[in-house]
């Protein structure tokens, strides 16, 4: 697959095969979390789901311990098993199970586990949604993957002088609030700082590009791996 084919592809598990070096465990888990958050409207009957996502995200960022995540497991499994009894395997809690299964470092298999995790969102509702909806979900997941992992065909060298106070402040604000509407403003600030990398600037200014925690541009700015 060449770069143009990769950019046009809307099958996440095909996209992920092009990475010769595995993205960090943090990025893998943030991708899974972002895909689970996409179906958050299906998770409202289970308060444990929002709590599990929060703990999983903090664990990925290093602000929650493995013990904290493990502490949520019994209550989550109880709700998940109840959902299986009531709804069968096609229930919205299944993708979250992948987050807990990836708690052990040895379970970060690449690309198999990541593929299983972010395929979990559409798989969980495969029997109750139309083919068109599944296709749309895969398209959305592909966009999330590109936002978090970046292109396997490009190697970005981020100059230290681009990290001005304004650039860092904007980036940190978006990251903490999960409101990424200021990405075009960030592009302007980067340009003022001397950034002339079209990949960086275009990613910030692309109105069709979704951004989440783990965005490769913000990670470069904030020094996250």
Cα dihedral 82→87→88→92 (10° resolution): -90
pLDDT tens digits along 137-196 = 788 889 999 999 999 999 898 999 999 999 999 999 999 999 999 999 999 999 999 999
> Domain total for the chain?
2
Q: What is the mean pLDDT of residues 74-84?
A: 76
Which of the listed residues 149, 172, 193 is the one where a domain comes to its end? 149
pLDDT at 89 over 70: no
In this predicted structure, the answer to whether residue 219 has a pLDDT above a threshold of 70 is: yes
Output the CA–CA distances (angstroms, integers) from residue 171 to 74, 144, 207, 213, in the order listed.
Answer: 36, 18, 17, 11
Highest mean pLDDT pick, 61-75, 106-120, 147-161: 147-161
- % residues pLDDT > 70 (the chain): 78
Average pLDDT, the chain: 81
Say which residue, 168 or 81, is predicted with more confidence: 168
User: Which residue range forms the structural domain that includes residue 9?
Assistant: 3-149
Domain end among 114, 149, 184: 149
Same domain, 42 and 63: yes
Q: Which residue has the higher pLDDT, 99 or 53?
A: 53
pLDDT band at 198 (very low <50, low <70, confident <90, very high): very high
> Residue 132 pLDDT more than 80?
no
Three-state secondary structure along the chain?
Answer: CCHHHHHHCCCHHHHHHHCCCCCCHHHHHHHHHHHHHHCHHHCCCCHHHHHHHHHHHHHHCCCCCHHHHHHHHHHHHHHHHHHHHHHCCCCCCHHHHHHHHCCCHHHCCCCHHHHHHHHHHHHCCCCCCCHHHHHHHHHHHHHHHHHHHCCCCCCCCCCHHHCCHHHHHHHHHHHHHCCCCCHHHHHHHHHHCCCCCHHHHHHHHCCCCCCCCCCHHHHHHHCCC
Q: 32 and 142: one domain?
A: yes
Place of tokens 């690309």: 111
Task: Based on the fold, state whether residues 31 and 78 are members of the same structural domain.
Answer: yes
* pLDDT per position as a tens digit, 10-55: 888 889 888 888 888 889 888 888 888 887 777 777 778 888 888 8
| Shared-domain flag, residues 187 and 139 | no
Q: What is the pLDDT of residue 74?
A: 77
């Amino acid at each position: 697959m060449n770069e143009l084919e990769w950019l046009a592809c809307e099958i996440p598990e095909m996209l992920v095969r092009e990475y010769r070096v595995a993205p960090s465990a943090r990025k893998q888990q943030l991708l899974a979390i972002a895909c689970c958050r996409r179906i958050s409207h299906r998770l409202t009957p289970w308060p444990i789901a929002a709590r599990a996502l929060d703990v999983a995200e903090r664990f990925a960022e290093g602000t929650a311990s493995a013990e904290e995540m493990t502490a949520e497991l019994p209550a989550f499994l109880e709700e998940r098993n109840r959902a299986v009894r009531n709804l069968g395997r096609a229930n919205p809690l299944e993708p979250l199970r992948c987050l807990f299964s990836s708690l052990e470092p040895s379970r970060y298999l690449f690309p198999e586990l990541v593929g299983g995790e972010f395929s979990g969102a559409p798989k969980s509702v495969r029997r109750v949604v139309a083919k068109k909806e599944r296709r749309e979900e895969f398209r959305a997941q592909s966009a999330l993957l590109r936002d978090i992992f970046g292109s396997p065909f490009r190697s970005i060298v981020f100059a230290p002088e681009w990290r001005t106070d304004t650039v860092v402040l904007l980036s940190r604000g978006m990251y903490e609030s999960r409101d990424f509407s200021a990405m075009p403003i960030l592009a302007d600030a980067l340009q003022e700082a001397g950034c002339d990398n079209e990949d960086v600037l275009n990613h910030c200014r692309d109105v069709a590009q979704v951004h989440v925690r783990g965005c490769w541009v913000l990670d470069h700015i904030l020094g996250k791996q």
